[in-house]
A and B are shown apart, each in its own frame.
Chain A
Amino acid sequence: MSNDSIETPRIRPWTLTTERIIIAGVLAAITIILGIVPNLGFIPLPNAVGNATIEHIPTIVSGIVAGPIIGIISGLIFGVLAFFRATDPFFKDPTVSIVPRLFIGLVSWAVFAGLVRINRDLAAAVAGFAGAATNTILVVSALIIRGYFPAAVIIPTVIVQAIFEAVIAAILTVILVRIFYVLEERVVHAPDKKPREQLPY
């Protein structure tokens, strides 16, 4: 993707457009799918907690491609889904399952918007890493603050899983953001670099 492609009109990040609402809806549907289809949203890991989840990735992507408000809305939906499907009694507490998730999209948007001037793939990777890290860090600190687990027990338990999740999120986010922008440019139209009468068609 070269930089001299056509100028898409800049939409301010804090506005809600129809397209952004639809992006949030479709990504929320994918979040639901990752949750209800067995084995799709989890990657089994050989450690105590067992699974690295990738359910937060749609939320990260929606924050990156559709701005902060959609990021918050997607986070809210992700949190509510996690709240309702939780079999673990600790996640039946909204301060653990919903509140930390609101910040995933926000953080990934902020990181992406800050770094996108340097390189889009780098920005997406760092944003994916930061989004996944936000999820883990805030959920774990909510568990500690609410007094369910002492910090000395839970941090060594989740640290391996957290790193895996963040790396997986970074890789997948790069791919998914690239896909989004490829489709975006294909639908608009190819840039016309020659004057009209020299074109072969």
Chain B
Amino acid sequence: MFELSRYVTFGQYVNNDSILARMDPRAKLVCAILLIVLVSFLNTFPVFFLCLIFCTILHLASRISIGYILRSLKPFFLFLIIAFIFEVLFYAPARAPHWIWHWWFLGLSWAGITASLLTMIRVIFLYYLATMLTFTTSLVDLTDGLESLVSPLQKLGIPVNALVMVLVIALKFVPIFVNEVERLMKAQAARGLHFDQGNLLQRISKMALLLIPLFVSGFQKVKVLNVAMEARCYGSHRGWHRTKLRALHYKRFDLFALALTIVVCILLITVNILTA
């Protein structure tokens, strides 16, 4: 139970140096958002078949094994099946359909099955696209891309840079704190403490034995990091412009991918309208 750092995973980035992993995070974010918004509006079977072809190409480009993705989907499937059953049974169409089986407000109809099946396929595609984004992009890249995409909001006076900095610091500190909690748990267990026994008050006081050292070390790290960042002149003042160690540049492939995504989007919309 104490090997926290082994089984607590946060972010699922697979760094396999594929084309998708090397893509500019801004371009990747824009593509992903476009596709996700589009997929949530599609509603015919042929268009989802086209989608499947596109996702297969995407998957080949990512060079991630299909089993890995399916394993991450596993806890999701049970939820999907239950949702499917409920949606079919409670399907309430605008006009009276041909019921296969009907009792009070529960009913089984072909229209209901088709509609629910489409919803499920849509949810699976949405989940796949979102997972693909997190599998091929590290969290730091993602926040970098997000920062440069939302930086126009800074001009409106919304502290976007501060928000992104908060996110970056949080993500960088998570592994450190996981180690810290692991060490604290081991230290307390070595003194003979059982974390999963006792009544409510005892449990709270045991929790405090972990939480308070965690916060103390957190506040101490704040002090150290504050001095380090002030010494390097971090801050945002009028006329200051922060540059980056790893500046983002659009490459030819990013523009190609953006163009391809837009073409695919237009194609999908056309097919969707034609087959609706």
A24 to B195, CA, bound (A): 29
B270 to chain A, nearest CB (A): 31
A62 to chain B, nearest CB (A): 10
Q: Cβ of A26: which chain B residues have Cβ within 8 Å of it? A: 169-170, 173, 218-219, 221-222, 225
A44-B203 in contact given A29-B177, A77-B170 (Cβ < 8 Å): yes
Q: Cβ of B218: which chain A residues have Cβ within 8 Å of it? A: 26-27, 29-30
B10 adjacent to A43 (CB under 8 Å): no
Chain A residue nearest to B232 in the complex (CB): A18
Chain A residue nearest to B130 in the complex (CB): A84
A25-B207 in contact given A18-B226, A183-B216 (Cβ < 8 Å): no
A21 adjacent to B203 (CB under 8 Å): no
B215 adjacent to A25 (CB under 8 Å): no
A37 adjacent to B178 (CB under 8 Å): yes
- CB < 8 Å: which of A16, A32, A175 contacts B208? A175
- CB < 8 Å: which of A18, A37, A76 contacts B234? A18
Q: Cβ of A30: which chain B residues have Cβ within 8 Å of it? A: 177, 214-215, 218
A102 to B225, CA, bound (A): 26
Q: How many residues of A contact B (CB 8 A)?
A: 41
Q: Cβ of A22: which chain B residues have Cβ within 8 Å of it? A: 169, 222, 225-226, 229
Q: How many residues of B contact A (CB 8 A)?
A: 47
Q: Cβ of A145: which chain B residues have Cβ within 8 Å of it? A: none
- CB < 8 Å: which of A18, A28, A29, A31 contacts B229? A18
Cβ contacts A126-156/B at 8 Å (1 or 0 each): 0000000000000000000000000000000
A33-B178 in contact given A23-B222, A43-B203 (Cβ < 8 Å): yes
Chain B residue nearest to A25 in the complex (CB): B169
B212 adjacent to A187 (CB under 8 Å): no
Summarize A's interface: helix, strand, loop or mixed.
helix
Chain B residue nearest to A180 in the complex (CB): B219
A39 to B181, CA, bound (A): 12
A180 to B218, CA, bound (A): 10
The reply on B66 being an interface residue by CB < 8 A is no
A58 to chain B, nearest CB (A): 8
A171 to B177, CA, bound (A): 23
Chain A residue nearest to B234 in the complex (CB): A18
Cβ contacts A69-113/B at 8 Å (1 or 0 each): 100011011000000000101000000000000000000000000
B196 adjacent to A39 (CB under 8 Å): yes
CB under 8 Å from chain A, chain B span 160-189 = 162-163, 165-174, 176-178, 181
Which 4 A-B pairs have CB atoms at the shortest separation, nearest pair first?
A25-B169, A29-B173, A28-B170, A29-B170
Residues of B within 8 A of A (CB): 4, 8, 10, 79, 83, 159, 162-163, 165-174, 176-178, 181, 195-196, 200, 203-204, 207-208, 210-212, 214-216, 218-223, 225-226, 229-230, 234-235
15 example contacts (A-B, Cβ-Cβ < 8 A) are as follows A21-B169, A25-B168, A25-B173, A28-B169, A29-B173, A29-B174, A29-B176, A33-B177, A37-B8, A39-B196, A40-B210, A44-B203, A175-B212, A176-B212, A179-B219
